[in-house]
DNA sequence: CGGATTTGACCGGCGC
DNA sequence: GCGCCGGTCAAATCCG
């Protein structure tokens, strides 16, 4: 399966840089549209000129009207593109979470000894040589903290090691320490997001709510690294680090550690849970700009055909909950079915296919561009 | 006024 | 043992 490629570069590269236009890549109608819409900094002037040319025999007021409409259209399409970028970001994170879970389950089902090896493979793929040594370094207090909190995190470990009971004896803790650390490592994923050059912030919209708890300038990168915890903390242990890439500062690298143990905030279940929990949190979630559009259309529909998969509702995919999924995935054919269902659901979604096409076209253009250098 | 963010201090691992 | 460095804490500050 190609699902082993865990370092997912989801930078849409929707041609933020108008210079790439000069490349004569295979431009579909879609990619042309996206290119057109993302020449944000220079486009308005260009379109003004275009409008004037077209209406050279008409009155000047008509020309400005045309230009105004074009600019308006430009803004609209730009907003649409931004939305698609957010959607893909959210989906990629969900995909990562689900893939990790599936791999864990498969590895453990195959052979306990092979499980660790498989996880180390994942880690190897997810931690290219560019990853600074410090990011893989684990502090003693961290692992201790994770051991203490594993009743709400690390579904695989909870399933296989101690049935989710974190209050086991100290000897249990000792015996499970090593595999757990490997699981923790395997939950690290990195996401690359291309931002507008003018955007200097360190915000990666993935649909979840994050609370910033620190910022640091690291040695190998002049850009500061921001540290975030999931706003559902301490019940949700997920952290993320966001830092601009050294090579291309328009690219933001988000490193996620751990898995969310709650539904994605955009899902109805999460919304209901949130509404029941606290009003302040409600406010924060309602304020998230990416919640209204993407995830609702990106929800995987796994409830349709097979009864065995019916228990694996879409919410389990969006925010994996170990027990129902583990119960549903009973064999290779079921796993195959799940994969097929995921693919079908994704390809049926016009928004996803449009975003994917734009991303691919952008990536191809960039590759052509880099090959010429 | 309460929650989110900022930022300097602090902690612990690692290399010398 | 010491200094460096990444990561975290928590008081101060900001903001809606």
* Averaged pLDDT, A123-140: 36
Decide: pTM greater than 0.85.
no
Our measurement of CA A134 to C1' B14, in angstroms, reads 10
Phi then psi dihedrals of residue A214, to 5 deg: -175, 160
**Per-residue model confidence (pLDDT) at position A124:** 37
CB of residue A227 closer than 7 A to nucleic acid strand C?
A: yes
3-class DSSP state of A363: helix
Token pair, residue A310, equals 């019916």
* Averaged pLDDT, A309-327: 34
CB of residue A276 closer than 7 A to nucleic acid strand C?
A: no
Nucleotide nearest to A220 (CA to C1'): C5
CB of residue A220 closer than 7 A to nucleic acid strand C?
A: yes
Which window residues (83-102, chain A) lie with Cβ within 7 Å of strand B?
none
Our measurement of CA A214 to C1' C13, in angstroms, reads 15
With a cut of 80, say whether residue A29 has pLDDT above it. Answer: no
With a cut of 60, say whether residue A189 has pLDDT above it. Answer: yes
CB of residue A331 closer than 7 A to nucleic acid strand C?
A: no
**Max mean pLDDT range (A48-62, A82-96, A208-222):** A208-222
For residues A114 and A117, give the distance between their C-alpha atoms in angstroms, rounded to a whole number: 5
- Cα distances from A132 to residues A218, A249, A272, in angstroms, run 10, 17, 40
3-class DSSP state of A300: coil
**Per-residue model confidence (pLDDT) at position A66:** 62
**DSSP codes of every residue in A246-266:** SS-TTEEEEEEES--SS--TT
What phi-psi label fits residue A17: left (phi over 0), alpha (psi between -120 and 50 degrees) or beta?
beta
| Contact indicator for A270, A319 with CB cutoff of 8 Å | yes
Compute the mean pLDDT over every residue in chain A, rounded to the nearest whole number.
Answer: 52
Q: In what order do the strands lie in the sheet with A239-244?
A: A188-194, A251-257, A239-244, A224-230, A210-217
**Per-residue model confidence (pLDDT) at position A363:** 55
Give the Cβ contact number of residue A281 at 10 Å: 16
* Averaged pLDDT, A131-154: 35
| Contact indicator for A242, A202 with CB cutoff of 8 Å | yes
CB of residue A108 closer than 7 A to nucleic acid strand C?
A: no
Q: Tens of pLDDT along A156-178?
A: 333 333 333 333 333 333 333 34
Nucleotide nearest to A211 (CA to C1'): B4
């Amino acid at each position: 399966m190609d699902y082993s490629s865990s370092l997912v570069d989801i930078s849409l590269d929707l041609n933020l840089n108008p210079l790439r236009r000069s490349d004569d890549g295979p431009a579909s109608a879609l990619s042309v549209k996206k290119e057109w819409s993302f020449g944000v900094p220079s486009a308005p002037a260009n379109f003004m000129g275009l409008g004037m040319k077209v209406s050279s025999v008409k009155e000047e007021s008509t020309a400005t009207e045309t230009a105004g409409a074009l600019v308006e259209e430009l803004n609209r399409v730009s907003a649409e593109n931004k939305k698609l970028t957010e959607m893909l970001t959210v989906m990629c994170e969900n995909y990562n979470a689900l893939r990790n879970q599936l791999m864990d389950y498969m590895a453990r089902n195959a052979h306990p000894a092979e499980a660790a090896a498989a996880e180390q493979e994942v880690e190897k793929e997810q931690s290219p040589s560019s990853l600074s040594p410090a990011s893989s370094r684990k502090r003693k207090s961290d692992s201790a903290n994770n051991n203490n909190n594993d009743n709400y995190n690390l579904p695989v470990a909870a399933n296989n090691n101690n049935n989710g009971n974190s209050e086991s004896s100290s000897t249990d803790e000792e015996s499970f320490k090593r595999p757990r650390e490997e699981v923790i490592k395997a939950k690290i994923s990195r996401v690359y997001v291309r931002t507008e050059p003018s955007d200097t912030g360190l915000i990666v919209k993935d649909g979840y709510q994050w609370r910033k708890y620190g910022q640091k300038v690291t040695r190998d990168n002049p850009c500061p690294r921001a540290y975030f915890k999931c706003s559902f903390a301490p019940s949700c242990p997920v952290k993320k680090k966001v830092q601009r890439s050294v090579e291309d500062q328009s690219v933001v690298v988000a490193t996620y550690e751990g898995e969310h143990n709650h539904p994605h905030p955009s899902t109805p279940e999460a919304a209901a849970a949130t509404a029941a929990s606290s009003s302040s949190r409600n406010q924060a979630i309602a304020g998230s700009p990416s919640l209204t559009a993407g995830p609702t259309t990106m929800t995987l529909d796994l409830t349709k055909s097979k009864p065995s998969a019916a228990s694996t509702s879409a919410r389990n995919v969006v925010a994996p909950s170990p027990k129902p999924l583990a119960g549903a995935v009973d064999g290779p054919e079921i796993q195959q079915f799940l994969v097929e269902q995921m693919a079908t659901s994704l390809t049926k979604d016009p928004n996803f296919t449009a975003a994917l096409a734009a991303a691919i076209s952008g990536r191809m253009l960039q590759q052509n561009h880099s090959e010429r250098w």
